[in-house]
Structure 1
């Protein structure tokens, strides 16, 4: 119930307790929440409870309240089970199951052979119907039509490097017959490799610039120290010279 959820919620993050700990005054918090809260008071060396404001010195040690953790875990499971039916329905922005009638459930997989998306129950039916056939399933997407060749109605699973776009295998045998082609998966892997290499080079350049900047800072600091030493030496010599050149004071 809402009252039980409130009872086992952290007053800092306002969510159900995670790794609950109980402090000396009896109030409980998430381990990470109270740790972060007390880290802000490290300079004062006085630590307080966010709820009752009772103070503690020195900083209390924190140990997981296993009994409370078990209660919260059971509450989380009951909360998840209660919310499950509502979560199955497709919300705005979700991919809807193409088979559901009336209020549609949220699709979890899309079939690139059937060109349809399925909720959990209809996915199980699909797998039962096509158990002997290998249908290509992927995470549910609302862009199925974009992955299909508009001319041949086949999956765009080949990449033409000559024209730099995806084609189906019938296109490869016809219009793109003498073009350089690879599988779309292979091209994706190659592009990812190139991107990683580019990122590595950029990171290397950044590190080189940071090193140069640090060397420049050190050079400037060294120059300042050297200048101050020379300036002090010059002042000292000037004082000696003035002292030497000045006539003695007559009494």
Structure 2
């Protein structure tokens, strides 16, 4: 928890990533040098400058001072973190520093870290799923849309286009969540029956062993 709190303090509010070459504006807020440079370049075209964090306005382009102490803290923090490559999948949007992804967004075919997950989870059209390296397999091979339904007649996963005007039009379908729950219930019943049969068989074997001993 302490590591998570420290990480939050070391995140640039522009890119939502750990500071890279942190600099400080005269209002006291810190940013990656590249991030604040891009923001100020954009503001220059609009004729005014302000801090992205506190919105304090400046009469002219504010100077940015390198924050050496913060840079050292960032370096020490990163060196103490476990190897990020171990997770296998890194966040698509973290360009400066590789960050492990925790979820996948099917809509944008992107892998997301905790920070970028917050942004994507606010939009209802973003479809989030457990982390996967094969996002293409989560989409219809014909229409390239997200697989949302299960056709019970053909026993395949289909997209909304398959259901409305494709070869599965008029077929009995279920949402993937509904189909998943049904499959789980069936598997649970099968497991219970097999468990009962195994217990009965073990009792018979034990009985035979007892009779043989006698």
On whether the aligned pair clears a TM of 0.5, the verdict is yes
Name the CA distance, whole Å, in 2 between partners of 1:138 and 1:173.
24
Equivalence map 1:16-165=2 (5 Å): 86-87=81-82, 89=84, 91=85, 94-101=88-95, 103-127=97-121, 131=122, 133=124, 135-165=126-156
1:211 maps to which of 200, 203, 210: 203
Name the CA distance, whole Å, in 2 between partners of 1:171 and 1:160.
10
Structure 1 outlier segments of 4+, above 4 Å: 81-85
**Native 8 Å contact 1:88 1:105 kept in 2:** no
- The alignment covers a number of residue pairs equal to 138
Q: TM-score, normalised by structure 1?
A: 0.48
Name the CA distance, whole Å, in 2 between partners of 1:85 and 1:111.
29
Name the CA distance, whole Å, in 1 between partners of 2:86 and 2:200.
47
Q: Structure 1's 88 and 158: CA in aligned 2 closer, same or farther, altered over 3 A?
A: farther
**Native 8 Å contact 1:88 1:106 kept in 2:** no
Q: TM-score, normalised by structure 2?
A: 0.55
Q: Structure 1's 185 and 84: CA in aligned 2 closer, same or farther, altered over 3 A?
A: farther
1:166 maps to which of 157, 172, 180: 157
Q: Which runs of 5+ in 1 are unaligned?
A: 1-80, 223-251
Name the CA distance, whole Å, in 2 between partners of 1:214 and 1:96.
54
Which protein shows a greater Rg? 1
Q: Which runs of 5+ in 2 are unaligned?
A: 1-75
